Every structure is written in C-alpha cells, then in structure tokens.
Structure 1
Amino acid sequence: MDHAEALLIGGRAGVGKTTVGWEVSALLRSAAVAHAIIDGDFMGQVHPAPEGDPHRAEITESNLTAVWANFARLGYRRLLYTNTLSVLPQAAGMFARALGGGVRLTRVLLTASDATARERLVGRERGSELERELEGSIRKARLLDQGAPEGTVRVATDGRPVVDIAREVVAATGWASVTPR
C-alpha cells in the first residue's frame, strides 16, 4: 500500500466515538491489521486558542502531521481517527496534507437520538461542562446530518452493543474480514 488510508469516525458528543474507536482498534488487532489510532480531540487542546486560529485548525493539523510522520516512518499506513467533525468535507484537505496526497478516506458518522446522547453525557460529564456539551451535541448533530458528504456511512448507536457497532464500522473500511451482526 503506497498511500495512507484513514478511517474517520465522527459524530455528536455522546454518540460513542471514543468507545467505538477503541473497539474498532481491538477488532483490527485481532485480525492482525496494522494501524494507528488518534483521538483528534487531543490534537488541538490548547488554551487560549492561538491568535488567528480560534477554531484550533492550524494547531490540530500541525500536530496531526507530526504524529502521523512518526507512525509513517515506522511503516504504518492506516489511521483510525476519531473527532466530532472529522467526516465533514472541509476536513479532507487537512488529512491530505497531514497524511500525504492520495490518502483514501472512509467516513463513518455515528448517530444517536437526542435522548441517548443526553443520557450518555449525563453519565460521563462530572464537572461544569455538562450544559455546554448538551447544547453543542444537539447543534453538531444537525450540522453533521446536513453536512456529511455522500458516501459517508451512517451507523446508529442507540441501544446497540459497542462490538456490533464496531463490526459495522470495520466492515465499511474493507481492512479486515469481520461479520456485522
């Protein structure tokens, strides 16, 4: 494989991106599929935001480029990347620049109802961020629903075991033989 391949797992807060990402990684490991995993939320977490980069896109891309260069130097060509908005068309340029031209993107949008996302966020958030997360989750769910490009695989997470969701996600990549239930 000459070019990199990236599995982008996006979705609103509370949909299960991180949990599904780790389960996808476990399935890939069990199938002996070499890959790297990055939680994109950590690529731009600086405060305050750099001047001129209020959405942290520049620092995120710079960090992704540096981290991917280390993985690529060791021979990795597949990246599993989780981040809320990573499936949107405007992110494609960042992946092409960071992972190299010709990168093949597989976009998976995890979905959940407002009630499911709320239940998960209430169970997860322990500090002062709950209300902000709830409001942002609803807003981003609508943005993702409208903005995800054609060809994005949508996977519902409501009431489903994480291993079943992960099997469906892995099947979308073609990286390993797994059987979705």
Structure 2
Amino acid sequence: MNDVDVLVLHGSPGAGKTTLARAVSEILREAGLAHGVIDMDEISIVHPDQGRSFARENLRAIWPRYAAVPGLRLLLPSVVADEEELALLRAALPGAHLAVCELTAPEAVLKERVTAREPNEFWREGLRRWVDVFHARNDLHRIRDFLVSTHERSEEDAAREVIDKAGWLAVRHQPRGSTT
C-alpha cells in the first residue's frame, strides 16, 4: 500500500462536508491530482440502522483498494463523534496520513441549511437537534487539525482554503529510490 493523505471534512450537520468534498474534488481534478471521496454517510445507508461502526467497517473493507492508488489524496466527509471514534477511524486506515478539517458556520445558519434540504419535519427536527448536540461539545479542539468557515463565501473559496491548509497543491517529494 502507498502512503495516502486522508482529510476528514468534519463538522456539524449543515456545515457543508459533502458539498465541500465535491468542490475540493473538482479543484484536484482540474489540477490533475489523484484523489478520491468516500462519503461516510453514503456508505452507511441501510435500514434498520446498524450503528456508527457500520460505516467505519465498510471503510476498512474498501480502504486497501484506495490505498493502492499511487499519490492518492482521500477526502472523508463525516462527523467525528469523539476522540475515541477518531482513534478507531485511524485504525481503519492503516498507513494513512490523516488530518481533520472542521467546517464551521453559525448555528442558526446550520439549522437553516439542514431544514432546507430535508424532505419532512421528522428529518429536519432530528438534524436541528444534532446541530445543538454538536455545538454543545467541548472536545472539538482536540479532534480538528484546522478550521475552515463555510459561511458567507463561495464553495470554491472555502474549498481552496481547505486545500491550502491541507497542503494538497504543494509539490510532493518522491520517495527515495523513486524514478518518477
């Protein structure tokens, strides 16, 4: 397996994790850089709900295929529940260089965003409650490596800041003994 730079786009519901992953992916595509996106919400859609470990175990199963891609940068949009979950996520990605970018916006904006996107009040209210839970946390500074605001700016501007802070457009040094 190759060393893979993995960036977790973490934040409250409505922070723009999936949206930013797409925007970052497009910038990386335009730059001709190998990259992938694994949306942790998407790989956990099953009814009845199988718990938080379901997505992580799915990630563990597909990780070797991604890790085999030379020079890959991998985006993981996800909410990291706590430090223990971050440690479990790291364990699911052997050989990864993992960093966490917390996406932020004002709480009222986050609630507006989740209300606008959900199909009915059951899902809207559930996500508004998750926004409250997220903002009541006192461990976020121990999980994130850096912050990026998604409020009052374009998706492209926020995506470029994510890429800049992750150092993903910087020239990579080739491993010793490499001829490419």
Q: Which category describes the TM-score, using the shorter chain as reference length?
A: 0.7 to 0.9
User: Matches of 1:139 and 1:93 in 2, distance apart?
Assistant: 21
- How much does 1:28 deviate? 0.8
- How much does 1:99 deviate? 2.2
- How much does 1:168 deviate? 0.5
**TM superposition score normalised by structure 1:** 0.82
**Cα deviations by residue, 1:123-174 (Å, 9 ceiling, x for unpaired):** 111223111110111211332x633327621111221111110000001111
Query: What's the counterpart of residue 9 of structure 1?
Result: 9
User: Matches of 1:111 and 1:92 in 2, distance apart?
Assistant: 19
- Paired residues, number: 169
Q: Select 1:91's aligned residue among 85, 89, 102.
A: 85
User: Matches of 1:125 and 1:73 in 2, distance apart?
Assistant: 36
Any unmatched runs of 5+ in structure 2?
171-180
Moved over 6 A (4+): none
Matches within 5 A, 1:130-149: 130-143=124-137, 146-149=139-142
Query: What's the counterpart of residue 56 of structure 2?
Result: 61
- How much does 1:76 deviate? 5.7
Query: What's the counterpart of residue 117 of structure 1?
Result: 110
| Identity percentage of aligned residues | 31
Q: Answer yes or no: is the 8 Å Cα contact 2:8–2:78 preserved in 1.
A: yes
- How much does 1:71 deviate? 2.1
- How much does 1:75 deviate? 3.7
What do you get for the CA RMSD once the two structures are aligned? 2.2
